[in-house]
A and B are shown apart, each in its own frame.
Chain A
């Protein structure tokens, strides 16, 4: 749809529908849309996933690479996020249009995954002090239909779950250690993602809190709160978006809505 926005009457209609706890498509305020998940669909990545949430379509590929360790933290591996906003998704992404959104999403993901329990960063270290795995997480936005952050975070978690890290054999020879990557496609290890966070966005529409807002509903919401939460209930990141302000009470209400989704079925 065009970016001219909604008419006054449509906004009123959506506002009242949220009040009635019966949204435009029949969902309640705390219902997610139907989600479809597909994993290991790109053969030249080490792990990949695609999430389709109604109209939102996200493709994630993870590549692993051996790199020298970060001298400040010599015993852990690293994660790097990159978001590509394809102009196929919306014409607004053409040229450099999607860059801002892309860096916002990657900043949010980086922050959410920055806490020590997210993934086992120590297992990503191959040779402490020298070599570690660097995971390049590439996200491609294929279609935008609202609630982008949540869909991206779920796709990233699924892709990390799907990740196959080849085993490395180390041989000592004169002067140093030689690393040998296994060629056998079945000789790999998995990454434990049970602690990986997902992002849940709560939109404030009128006086009510709505999850998984469609594009139209997002346009009606003045403020939204995004939280990175893990299965255990740890909040790893928080971000507020939108022009509206939030008072402390509604923030805690929104956080409550957020944490209620922790019983999400593990992928």
Chain B
């Protein structure tokens, strides 16, 4: 048993957040970005008194004449093709409502999931009655954004064997802007765990499964106990991801592995302490800089 209480004043100062970047890039709501009228107004900005102001706190990004502010903390704004993790909220007529940290619940249509028994099967009324058998309230799924409706509501699909219901593991929630967009968001890490970095800021860490059975369509979950060593790896990865998120580092596979390696000298639960977090993340930052990534 252990209890660890300390004063807020003794919190380690931490490395500076804007390390290596031009701090002039960071704005808070109401800040004037530019008084030059030659620019176009993008997301996160507004015009007032001939000046372009920021409406959110974040970093200024410029593409040619378009200026937008990318918020640090935000709800998830979906884009077609994104990998997301979501939790089933409710069942409706031929669809599931999924919570994806978006402004509105996303929709997963019965017609856009893989049902057991082959891809090209007709969906019958029978399937509609069986919906809760496939996915019920509370279940976690990985999916891809198929379409963004005009009101910002996302429509998802899981028509690939890599998507579908998630089994045992640990869900970590971070800000969506911290997940780096990559070619692949599914990683089987060499340390014996798999990680899915959802673009919506939900990160799923689970033990690596060797063979995914295709007959059941991935709707059967394995409820056997996870071995202690796997559990340790998952817990360490979870704490590493949270440590990186706390220091506002972008998340991708390499930096997570580096953090994992840098953290190995501490017991897993020590990674909850702020001074250890700062030290480990500083090491990772140096290593990333050294390798020029």
A residues at B contact (CB < 8 Å) = 1-2, 4-10, 12-13, 16-17, 19-20, 22-28, 30-38, 50, 52, 54, 154, 211, 260-261, 264-265, 267
Contacts and interface: CB of A to CB of B under 8 A. Distances in A.
Given A8-B138, A9-B223, A265-B3, 6 more contacts: A2-B87, A4-B87, A24-B238, A26-B267, A35-B4, A36-B5
Given A4-B88, A10-B168, A16-B226, A27 B6 contact: no
For the residues of B in contact with A, the DSSP-based class is: mixed
Nearest to B135: A7
A50 B8 contact: yes
7 contacts: A7-B140, A13-B226, A26-B269, A27-B272, A32-B3, A34-B273, A34-B274
Most A CB atoms within 10 A — which of B7, B88, B168, B267? B168
B292 to A, nearest CB: 32
Interface stretch (B42-50, B67-75, B228-236): B228-236
B115 interface: no
A10 B140 contact: yes
Interface residues of B, number: 45
Interface string B1-34: 1111111110100000000000000000000000
Interface stretch (B56-64, B152-160, B169-177, B247-255): B169-177
B89 A8 contact: no
Nearest to B267: A26
Contacts of A24: 170, 235, 238
A24 B225 CA distance: 14
Contacts of B142: none
B223 A8 contact: yes
Nearest to A50: B8
Nearest to A27: B269
Contact of A4 (B137, B232, B267): B137
Interface of B: 1-9, 11, 87-90, 99, 137-140, 166-171, 173, 221-223, 225-226, 228, 231-232, 235-236, 238-239, 267-269, 271-274
Contacts of B138: 4-8
A5 B137 contact: yes
A10 B3 CA distance: 26
Nearest to A267: B5
A53 to B, nearest CB: 9
A-B pairs, top 5 by smallest CB distance, nearest first, are A26-B268, A30-B1, A38-B8, A26-B269, A13-B168
Most B CB atoms within 10 A — which of A33, A36, A261? A36
A9 B221 contact: yes
Most A CB atoms within 10 A — which of B87, B166, B169? B87
A122 B50 CA distance: 65
Contacts of B272: 25-27, 33-34, 54
Contacts of A52: 8
